[in-house]
């Protein structure tokens, strides 16, 4: 496998650039997951995306600002097929993020985007399982509560907790895409203290 090399800002605390060597992400669940837009590095990836075998992403987050995960379908899209053979548009996530930004996090926001840089809207079919009620599938081990905002965008804000530099946090949530796209994005924005 060829490795990619990119330069990313090391965060407000460090004031320096960090060279990161990233191996190409593995294929799983009919999708390719990429950290090529910078700000974090995927260090482990597995799972089919089902409730019993979620997409498990271990990542190191070195930017204190927002970073974006690129998700691309690598198999034919069929919402009714098995995730071993198709991209289904239904993905359970279990993300472990290590904070190596040098700054504490007092919250964390995830935002879905079907077009890079533009928040998902109701008509695109992409959401944090908007069809269901309650947040049984939205949990974190370091943040006691979460808020889902569906309109005019699709976001989850985890709050009431903190993650110090060097510590890890785990997030679990479900993404559904009723009109599955070949390409979409998850923006991760750690919240840092104001002063």
pLDDT score for 185: 97
1-to-4, 23, 24, 26, 69 alpha-carbon distances in Å: 10, 7, 7, 10, 20
DSSP 140: E
From the DSSP assignment, how many helices (H) and strands (E) are in the chain?
0, 15
What's the pTM? 0.82
Domain boundaries defined on the chain: 4-11+19-191
Per-residue pLDDT of the chain (195 residues; tens, 9 = 90+): 333 333 333 334 444 444 444 454 444 678 999 999 999 999 999 999 988 999 999 999 999 999 999 999 999 988 888 888 888 888 999 999 999 999 999 999 999 999 999 988 877 888 888 766 444 578 999 999 998 877 778 899 999 999 999 999 999 999 988 887 899 999 999 999 986
pLDDT score for 131: 67
pLDDT score for 18: 42
pLDDT score for 77: 86
């Amino acid at each position: 496998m060829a490795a990619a090399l990119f330069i990313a800002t090391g965060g407000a605390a460090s004031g320096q650039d960090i060279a990161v060597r990233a191996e190409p992400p593995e294929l799983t669940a009919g999708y390719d997951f990429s950290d090529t837009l910078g700000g974090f590095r995927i260090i482990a990836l597995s799972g089919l995306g089902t409730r019993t075998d979620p997409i498990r992403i271990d990542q190191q987050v070195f930017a204190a600002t927002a970073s974006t995960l690129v998700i691309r379908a690598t198999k034919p899209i069929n919402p009714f097929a098995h995730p071993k053979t198709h991209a289904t548009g239904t993905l359970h996530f279990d993300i472990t993020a290590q904070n190596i930004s040098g700054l504490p996090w007092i919250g964390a926001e995830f935002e879905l985007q079907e077009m890079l840089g533009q928040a998902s809207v109701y008509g695109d079919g992409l959401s944090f399982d908007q069809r269901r009620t309650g947040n049984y599938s939205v949990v974190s081990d370091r943040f006691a509560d979460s808020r889902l905002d569906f309109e005019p965008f699709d976001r989850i804000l985890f709050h009431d907790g903190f993650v110090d530099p060097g510590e890890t946090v785990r997030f679990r949530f479900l993404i559904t895409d009723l009109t599955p796209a070949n390409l979409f994005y998850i923006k991760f924005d750690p919240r840092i203290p104001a002063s």
